[in-house]
Structures are given as C-alpha cells and as structure tokens.
Structure 1
Amino acid sequence: MVGKKIQAPKGVSEYMPPRSDVFEFVRQALIDPARRAGYSLMELPVFEDTELFTRGVGASTDVVSKEMYTFTDRGDRSITLRPEGTAGVMRAVIEHGLDRGPLPVKVWYSGAFFRAERPQAGRYRQFYQVGIEAIGLDDSAIDAEVIAIADAGFKAIGLTKYRLDLTSLGDAESRAAHRKDLVTYIATLDFDEATAARAAINPLRLFDDKREEMQTAMAKAPLLMDYLSDSSRAHFDQVKKYLDALGISYVLNPHMVRGLDYYTGTTFEFVHELLGAQSGIGGGGRYDGLMAELGGQELSGIGFGLGIDRAVLAAEAEGVIASQEFVSDLMIIPLGELAKEQALKIAARLRHANKTVEIAFGDRALKGAMKAADKSGARYVVVLGDSEIASGHVELKQMNTGATASVRIDSLINEL
C-alpha cells in the first residue's frame, strides 16, 4: 500500500535546483557588502519569548496583533516564531553584554522568519531575510553606511529597477508635537472599531494602512516630517548629504512609517517597480529607544532587513541572472572501475582548486552519459577510460561549441 503524499504547508517558499542556485547567489550577494564593512555573523534562535515581540515590535502593529505564530510550549511558556530580526538581535546584545564592549556593535544575520499572512506572490508565511544592525552610536554617517550596504547588495545582484524611499520619523520631541495635531485630525474621521483601537495605541499606524479608503482619509493628515525638531532635521539633512556624496539616489516619502513601532529618525525602504503589490524588497531604519524598552542601556541603533525571496523575484523579473552562471566547470565520464577511481582523484584535485566538477555515476553507456552531461549544462566534458589513463591525456570537449582538444590530465586546471 502506497502512503498518501505529504505536501509542504501552505504559504511557504521552497527552492529546488536549479532555482536554489539563484537563491544562494542572491543571499550571498546581500551578505557580502556587510562582511566587507566589518559586520560579524550573529546566529540566533528562530523562536523567542513572545514578550520580546509584543514589547519590542509594538502591540499596535499588524505583525503582533495579526501575524505572529505563537504557541505555548511544554513548560507553559508563550513562545513565538520570529517575525523579524531586530528584536532578537537586541535581546542577544543585552543578554551577552555586547553593549558593554566596543561600540558600535556591528552584526549581520540571515535565516527564516515567519508571519501568518495570506499567501500570495512575494508574501509567504515562511520567508528569508538578510539583515544587519549597528548598535551603540547615534551618527548620521552610520545611517548612510547602512543604507549604502543594502544598496550595494542589490547592485551586486544586478538589480536596477528599484528606488530608495527615505524619510525621518524624528525624535521624541518631534513625535510628541506631531501626535498632538494628528490626534486632533483623526478625531474628525470615522473608523471601524479595530482601526480606532490601533489608532489609540499608535496613530502613526494609520499611515501604514493599505486600504484605499484609509489612504484617502489620511491624504491630508499632518506629516511628521513637518514637525522635526532642530536636532532631528540636522541629523536627517546630514544623512541626505552623505547619500548624495555616495551617489545613492533617493525619493523623500513623508507618508512612510514602515510596519514596526520601534522605528525613529532615519527610515527607509527599497521598492522594486516590477513586483506589483509586494514591491518592497527591503528596508529599515533607526530605533533609538528599543534597547531601553527591552531592559538594556539607552543606546541607539540602526539596521535593515532585506527580503531574499523578493530579491530573487526581482532578479527574475529583470532577467539579470543567467542560468549558466551556476553550471559545473567540468563533467567527467568514467568508463570502468579503474576510470571511476581516477575520476574521483581528478575531481578532488580540481575541486581543491575551486573548480566545480561533477562525475557521471551509475555506469551508464557513453551515449547516455553524454546526454546527461549536456543536460547538466557543464562547460566542459571529458571521457576517461583505460586508454586515457594509460596515455595521461583526455579529449576536453567544450559543450557550447563542440570544439575538442587533447589535454594532459595533470594540466586540466589550466584549461578550465
């Protein structure tokens, strides 16, 4: 009796070969600029105490109120699969005393995150991100560097059809002055009960409401950018000056608030023009009160989260990643047991020299093995039999042209 097939849960993103090669290329392209800027890896659990997110992310956000995967474990503790990365990083920095050492603390992370959303293209219940955090200094140059690292990652993939939206959510003084007038404005509007409850906790959340009627209602609402204190405005002006010096273009978007309550000051989002409704491919900002909220020092920080899934979709939409970028350098077809042993040794030497080498296993006939090599996309193929081993030479075939050349086995590295 054949058992019933088990399928993946609805709304998860899975990557099978050859598309998984694209996924890994994109992930590494987003990580490498952070490494080159001196950021170190931080590996964190995928589940945390639920309170970390209710306090850190904000009870009024959709993430906390609607989208978290929360359960009670066997110890009767409330546990949540991480919906974002910054709160967990901050918890770890406080717990392990990194904030007591050299500042800023500069870390990067990558992995799976979870939100109970309605699945659609580019919006998954399990999704993947690369993120960085720079914690401990309130310096506008760090803001610019963080944005530049994200921009460099997208450029390394080859993306061009995106823009950077930029704003400032100000300091406590700025937000207090703005909140007073915003509350007065929204008091004239008629909301449903759930929206009114969110507005009571954090009225800025109304700017993040994507419903058309809410967009219309908030179109004339007072904007926080018009209430920036002198120090907030000076900080933001300096960030823009640094971005101009780096040649990074941006669009000021005073309506942007992002989906997490901890953002303050510089806030940004990268938007791709070919992805439709799910156009955000990454974003972040400054979070100057988050560490204190989670029981740590009064230290500022800034970071971002870049969506690997959406960056893959953007790369595919732009057609910037060719499949041949991920093929093998060489396929070896061994004919017989002695040839198979020699093929393993040859492959080991070439792999040690950073070449990607495959072996046609399974004792297939030469014709079938050549078909497999053609399908694999390998750039070169050699057939290895007793005569080749005895002579020390193989016929190296370039698959895209069909050209062949006699090459010494010990010189293969020079021809690939």
Structure 2
Amino acid sequence: MINLPRGTQDILPGESEKWQYLEQKFIELCSRYNYKEIRTPIFEHTEVFQRGVGDTTDIVQKEMYTFTDRGDRQLTLRPEGTASVARAYVQHKLHGQVKQPQKLFYHGPMFRYERPQAGRMRQFVQFGIEALGSADPAIDAEVIDFAMTLYQSLGLKSLRLVINTLGDQESRTAHREALINHFTPVKDELCSDCQVRLDKNPLRVLDCKRDHDHPSMASAPKILDFLTEDSRIYFEQVKKYLDELGIEYVVDPNLVRGLDYYNHTAFEIMSEAEGFGAITTLSGGGRFNGLIEELDGPATPGIGFALSVERFLLALDAEGIELPVEQSLDAYIVALGEEAELKASGLMKNLRAAGLQADKDFLAKKMKAQFKAADRENAKFVLIIGDQELEEEVVLIKEMASGTQEAVPFDSIINYIKERL
C-alpha cells in the first residue's frame, strides 16, 4: 500500500464540504469588499521568492520546495501568495489600470518543508487578499477589518488582534543599528541562524523560535522608539480607523512578521480558545511598500493578509462551532425491474436538470436495501418506480420526514418536490 507523503492530507467526502463552505464564505466576503480574484501558478521561478520573500527568512533558507526542470531552470513550489501576486502585478502592468488600487484575492495550495503538526502541513491552503497602489492608512484598517469580519462571521469569538508598526526605511535603519549594537555582545550565545541574521537582517532575530527565551530578547530595542514623525503619524491614523470601525486591538512592539517585505503596519490574529494549541496564530499580514520595486516594478505601496484554512478549521473546532453544511439529497429513486431502471435514469436526469440533487442505486440492490441507501444519503424524498407505476405513468413519492406517500404523475414530479422543498 502506498501512503500519502508526510505533511499532506486527503480531505475526504464529509470533510471536504466544510472546505467548500469556507471557500464560498471567503469569496462572498471578497465580493462585498470589492476584491477580484487572481490565480497564479503553483510554481514560480525561485528568484521570485528569494527577492520577494527575502533571503534571510526561514521560508527561503529552509522551507522551500525547489527543483531544477529539464530546461535547467530553477523553480519553486509557492510557499506563500503575496510574492506571486506582486510578480503578476508587475508582469501584466496592473499599475497602469485605470482602477486603483488593485484589490485582489487568491486561494489555493502552498508548500513549505517544515515539521508537520496540527494545523501546519507541508501542503496547506491559504486564503489571502492584497490591495496594491494605495498608501492610505484607511485601507490598512480595511484589510484588518476584512480578516476579523471573516472569522467573526463564522462565529469565532475568542480572537485577539495584535498590531505593530515596522516603520519606514529611515525608522528601520535606525532600529537596525540599535539591534546590531544590542545583540552583538551576546552573538555567540545565539543560534547559528541568528548569528547570520544579525549581519544580514537583525529584525529576523526577534522572530527566532529557538532564541525566543534568551534574556536579550526581552530588553531588545523596540521599533516604536525609532519611528520617524511620518511613521508615527501613519500608525496613529491606522489605529484611529480601527477605533472608528469598532475593532479591538493590542499594540505589541515585539510583533515581527516572518517575511522581509513588511514595513509600516503589521498584524496577527490569534485564537485564545481553550484547547486550540500552543501555536495561537490564525493569520497575519501587513504593509509591504517596496515589494513591487524589488520585483522590478514601479514604486507601489501595498498591504494584504493571508490565513490558513487548516488553522481556521481548528479554531472552529476549539470553539465548538459546527458549520451549517447540509449533506443530503432532494430525491433518491428506488427502481424495481429492468424497465423501471431505464425510466429511473431518464427521471434522474430531469430532476438534476431542474436543479435538484438526485441519485439512485447502481448495484442492483433489493428494494429494502435501496431504502436503507436512501436513509444513509439523508434523502428528503424517495421516488418508487415498479411495473404498476410504469403502467399507470405515476411515481410513488414518499416524504421521509413525515412518512406520507402519494402517487404523482410523471409530468408533475418536479413541481411536486419543489413545492414541498
């Protein structure tokens, strides 16, 4: 027997309906917020992620699935969605469109080589939105509002929104120097990754999982102490918009997103539900002014966020929320005899063409076994066809909830069922 690869999962019937439901809710919300779908390839040239995500990130250094194709090109299965969207934005010159900002959404599988655990798979599914072309703090608040609204619309209550600012380039340069001065005396005590990060991108040191409890972390310089006046004003405006929208938040100066392209606004949404697990983050995002330039496009501000569907489902389970996924048929046809089987096939096609969910037996089961199959399918109506029904040109329709049974002419079946549904 061949099993699936480690870190992947088969989503079987009974479970897949939940994924479909979440996807539909996400797309509906995107429509309400006026975000349009963009679909990018599952693999890209590796350079897209090296330049877009950042060489110093764990994703690029340790987690990417990279391969060389037969044309000797280095390609990578996408580990996240933003860099691909940014590449498409530049390639198709979306910055030249009349409609600005470009408000885009995506959903699909992503791939990262990391230790599989609950809610963290090597192949996982992300929903994400990106707003490209606006430096208005109001759209930062809109993106955060979208994320919170999506979770709350499904009934989640144990949510905690954490925000921070990473400042502009001047703020980050001053903060970078302070971080280097702070961590250099204890550099030898840090993990090998952080020793490299300290030279290349010291902000990543704050995001280290291995050195998280090192004493130097608690006393590390905070970005809020190095903000330029423009950065400070921008962050204050974002908070004012969140206040206006009635969104509760906590400012955490230690919040650092794991990707190099973030600046200014950064945020994460956590689940505080009991039993959710040690890793509480549900989703995160922030502003990425400069990313489009990094991928050879014009200077373009942008902001977005992404969530993991796997962790979304875990949070729903932790709060005991059952998705209203109905698994039933409108009609199940029980046919007795060869002629009845033929008639059942035509009837089933007509029911389906009328928008009804219909099925029948395909294993030549006896009548009792067919009724049991209808029960298992949670059918609302069972349609019975035998020799007598064929002769009288009627079908016996049994409403399963009430147990009532009625003979209905062939040409009235669809209207009869629809009226009672």
Is TM more than 0.5 here? yes
Any idea what SS the aligned residue of 1:150 has? helix
1:105-144 residue pairs with structure 2 within 5 A?
Answer: 105-144=102-141
1:77 paired residue number: 73
Cα offsets for 1:13-49 (capped at 9, x unmatched): 3201111111211222223211222222111111111
1:193 paired residue number: 192
Any idea what SS the aligned residue of 1:321 has? coil
Q: In structure 1, how many angstroms separate the alpha carbons of the residues matched to 2:167 and 2:33?
A: 27
Question: Is the contact made by 1:31 and 1:153 (CA closer than 8 Å) also made in structure 2?
Answer: no
Structure 1's 393 and 375: CA in aligned 2 closer, same or farther, altered over 3 A?
closer
Q: In structure 2, how many angstroms separate the alpha carbons of the residues matched to 1:95 and 1:52?
A: 12
2:304 paired residue number: 303
Shift of 1:215: 5.2
Structure 1's 253 and 9: CA in aligned 2 closer, same or farther, altered over 3 A?
same
Question: Is the contact made by 2:194 and 2:204 (CA closer than 8 Å) also made in structure 1?
Answer: no
Cα offsets for 1:85-120 (capped at 9, x unmatched): 110111111111111112111211111110010111
Question: Is the contact made by 2:327 and 2:377 (CA closer than 8 Å) also made in structure 1?
Answer: no
Question: Is the contact made by 1:32 and 1:153 (CA closer than 8 Å) also made in structure 2?
Answer: no
Shift of 1:160: 2.2
* Residue 45 (structure 1) aligned to one of 41, 54, 59: 41
Cα offsets for 1:35-79 (capped at 9, x unmatched): 222222111111111111111101111000110111111111111
Any idea what SS the aligned residue of 1:218 has? helix
Q: In structure 1, how many angstroms separate the alpha carbons of the residues matched to 2:102 and 2:74?
A: 29
Question: Is the contact made by 1:29 and 1:154 (CA closer than 8 Å) also made in structure 2?
Answer: no
Question: Is the contact made by 2:162 and 2:249 (CA closer than 8 Å) also made in structure 1?
Answer: yes
Question: Is the contact made by 2:381 and 2:397 (CA closer than 8 Å) also made in structure 1?
Answer: no
1:96 paired residue number: 92
Any idea what SS the aligned residue of 1:141 has? helix
Q: In structure 2, how many angstroms separate the alpha carbons of the residues matched to 1:388 and 1:286?
A: 67
2:397 paired residue number: 395
Q: In structure 2, what residue type is equivalent to 1:304?
A: F
Residue 406 (str. 1) matches residue 406 (str. 2): yes
Query: Which is worse superposed, 348-357 or 54-63?
Result: 348-357
Q: TM-score with structure 2 length normalisation? A: 0.90
Paired-residue identity, % = 44
1:107-186 residue pairs with structure 2 within 5 A?
Answer: 107-186=104-183
Cα offsets for 1:152-197 (capped at 9, x unmatched): 2223333222222211111112212222222221123232333210
Any idea what SS the aligned residue of 2:305 has? strand
* Residue 11 (structure 1) aligned to one of 7, 14, 22: 7
Shift of 1:204: 1.1
Q: In structure 2, how many angstroms separate the alpha carbons of the residues matched to 1:277 and 1:93?
A: 37
Q: In structure 2, what residue type is equivalent to 1:359?
A: K
* Residue 67 (structure 1) aligned to one of 58, 63, 70: 63
Question: Is the contact made by 1:350 and 1:413 (CA closer than 8 Å) also made in structure 2?
Answer: no
Any idea what SS the aligned residue of 1:383 has? strand
Any idea what SS the aligned residue of 2:11 has? coil
Structure 1's 393 and 58: CA in aligned 2 closer, same or farther, altered over 3 A?
same
1:269-288 residue pairs with structure 2 within 5 A?
Answer: 269-274=268-273, 275-288=276-289
What number of residue pairs does the alignment pair up?
410
RMSD: 2.2
